[in-house]
Structure 1
Amino acid sequence: MNNVNLISDRIIFFINQQNLTINRLATLADIPGATLNDLVNKKGKTVKLDTLTSICPILGISVTEFLDFPPYNEVEK
C-alpha cells in the first residue's frame, strides 16, 4: 500500500470517529473540498504536509499522532 492510500485510510478513520463529512472537514480546515475529496478517494499521487497540518487540529490531534500507526511507527531492523 502506498503513502497516499495509508493517509487516505487514516483520514477516513478519523472523520468517522469524529462523525464528520469530508466536506465539513475541508470547510473547517479551510482547504478546498476537491483537494480533500481527491485525497480521501485516493485520486492524488502525493499528500502535502500543509494539508495534514490543516486537518489535524480540526480532528483534535497532532500530525505526530496522525502518523502514529503502522508502518510509520515501526522501527526498521
Structure 2
Amino acid sequence: MNAKDAVARRIQYLCLERDIAVNALANQSGIPPSTIYSMLNKKSQNPGIVSIQKICDGLGISVREFFDNPLFDDLEQEIR
C-alpha cells in the first residue's frame, strides 16, 4: 500500500469510528469537503500535512495518533 492510500483509509476509518460523514469532518476541520474527497480518491496524489493536521484538529486527535496505525507500518517505497 502506498502512503496516499493509507491516509485515505485512515480518514475513512476515523469517520466510521466516530460515525461522521465526510462533509461533517470537513466542517469540523475547517477545510472544504472537496479537499477531503480528493484525498479519498485518486485526484490528490499527495495529501498535504497541513490538511492532515486540520483533519486531526477536527477529530480531536494529534498527528501522531493519526499515523500511529498499522496501515503506515509497511508502506511501499515511493521512489523507484
Fold shared per TM-score above 0.5: yes
TM-score of the two chains, using structure 1 as the length reference: 0.85
Which consecutive aligned stretches of 4+ in structure 1 deviate over 6 angstroms post-superposition?
A: none
1:23-62 superposed matches below 5 A: 23-62=23-62
Gapped regions of structure 1 (runs ≥ 5): none
Give 2:22's aligned residue: 22
Q: In angstroms, what is the RMSD of aligned CA positions?
A: 1.5
Aligned CA distance change for structure 1 residues 11 and 71 (closer, same or farther; 3 Å):
closer
Q: Higher relative CO (CA 8 A, sep ≥ 6), structure 1 or 2? A: 2
* Number of equivalent positions: 74
TM-score of the two chains, using structure 2 as the length reference: 0.82
Q: What's the CA shift for 1:32?
A: 1.2
Identity %: 32
Asked whether the 8 Å contact 2:8–2:39 carries over to 1, the reply is yes
